[in-house]
C-alpha cells in the first residue's frame, strides 16, 4: 500500500516535471561544496558563491586548504553564513586530504563507513552526508530535506517519529534500492516543493487551491 503510494507519487511527479538531471554541478567535488553551501540557503545564492570559487581557481580540495579562511569566506559571501561555511569547507578539504584528494578512492569506501566518516566532518550532518553519498558518490541512499518532510506530512504519510532516519526509512524500505530512482525522486520532491506553496509551509488552505492534491492526495 505504502509502496504503491510512494511509486505513484514518483510517477506523477516525473510525468509532470520530467527528469531533473541532478545534482546541478560539473563534477563530484563541486557537488560536495554545493551540498555544504546550500545549507539553509537559496540555490541562486549558492550558484554565485560557486561561481566565485571557480573564478578564483578555488574549486579543488587543495586550493581550499591553501586559501586563507578570510579569503574563502569572502568568495562564498553570497551563500550566507560565510564565516561558518568557510570553516566547514576547510574541514571538508582537510578530510579529503586524508584520501590524497582521490575521490574515486573515497567513493569506493562502503556506504555505511563512508557515511559515518562524513558525519564526523565538521559541518556535515545527515542531509549533507546523504547528498554527497547519492549525488557525488552514486551510492543508493535517500536524501531527506525540509521539502521531503513537508510533502510527506501533507500527504499524511509522516512516520511515527519526526526524525531524519524515520523519513529516510520510509523511502528506503518501500522502494527499490536504486541510485537513479533516489536521485530523481528527491530532485522531483524539491521541484514540487518549489512550485507549490513556495511562500509558506504546505497547509490546509493551499491543498484546496493548488495542484498539490493532484500529485499526492490523489495517489
Q: Does 145 bind DNA (CB under 7 A)?
A: yes
Q: How far is the CB of 86 from DNA (least distance, A)?
A: 7
- 190: enclosing H helix or E strand: helix 179-195
By beta-carbon proximity to DNA, the closer residue of 9 and 121 is 121
The stretch among 10-18, 96-104, 105-113, 197-205 that binds DNA (CB under 7 A) is 197-205
Using CB under 7 A, count the residues that bind DNA.
Answer: 45
Q: How far is the CB of 7 from DNA (least distance, A)?
A: 23
One residue of 1, 15, 44, 113 binding DNA per CB under 7 A = 44
Q: Does 29 bind DNA (CB under 7 A)?
A: no
| DSSP class per residue in 111-163 | HHHHHHHHHTSTT--HHHHHHIIIIIS--------HHHHHHHHHTT---SS-S
Q: Does 75 bind DNA (CB under 7 A)?
A: no
Q: Does 131 bind DNA (CB under 7 A)?
A: yes
Provide the sign of the torsion angle of the four alpha carbons 214, 216, 217, 219, taken in this order: positive
* Cα 140 to Cα 135: distance, rounded to the nearest angstrom: 9
Residues in contact with 194: Cβ distance below 8 Å, sequence separation at least 6, in sequence order: 147
Q: Does 146 bind DNA (CB under 7 A)?
A: yes
Q: Does 50 bind DNA (CB under 7 A)?
A: no
Residues that bind DNA (CB under 7 A): 22-24, 34-35, 38-45, 48, 77-85, 121-129, 131, 135, 145-147, 161, 163, 190, 193-194, 199-201
Amino acid at each position: 500500500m505504502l509502496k504503491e503510494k510512494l511509486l505513484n507519487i514518483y510517477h506523477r511527479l516525473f510525468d509532470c516535471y520530467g527528469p531533473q538531471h541532478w545534482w546541478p554541478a560539473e563534477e563530484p567535488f563541486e557537488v560536495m561544496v554545493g551540498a555544504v553551501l546550500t545549507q539553509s540557503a537559496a540555490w541562486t545564492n549558492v550558484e554565485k558563491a560557486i561561481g566565485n570559487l571557480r573564478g578564483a581557481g578555488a574549486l579543488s580540495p587543495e586550493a581550499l586548504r591553501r586559501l586563507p579562511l578570510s579569503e574563502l569566506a569572502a568568495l562564498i559571501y553570497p551563500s550566507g553564513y560565510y564565516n561558518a561555511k568557510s570553516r566547514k569547507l576547510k574541514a571538508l578539504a582537510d578530510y579529503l586530504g586524508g584520501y590524497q584528494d582521490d575521490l574515486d578512492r573515497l567513493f569506493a569506501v562502503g556506504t555505511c563507513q563512508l557515511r559515518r566518516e562524513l558525519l564526523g566532518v565538521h559541518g556535515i550532518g545527515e542531509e549533507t552526508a546523504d547528498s554527497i553519498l547519492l549525488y557525488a558518490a552514486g551510492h543508493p541512499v535517500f536524501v531527506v530535506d525540509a521539502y521531503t518532510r513537508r510533502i510527506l506530512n501533507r500527504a499524511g504519510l509522516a512516520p511515527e517519529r519526526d526524525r531524519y532516519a524515520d523519513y529516510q526509512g520510509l523511502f528506503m524500505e518501500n522502494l527499490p534500492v536504486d541510485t537513479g530512482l533516489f536521485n530523481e525522486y528527491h530532485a522531483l520532491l524539491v521541484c514540487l516543493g518549489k512550485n507549490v506553496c513556495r511562500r509558506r509551509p504546505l497547509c490546509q488552505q493551499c491543498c484546496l487551491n493548488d495542484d498539490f492534491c493532484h500529485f499526492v492526495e490523489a495517489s
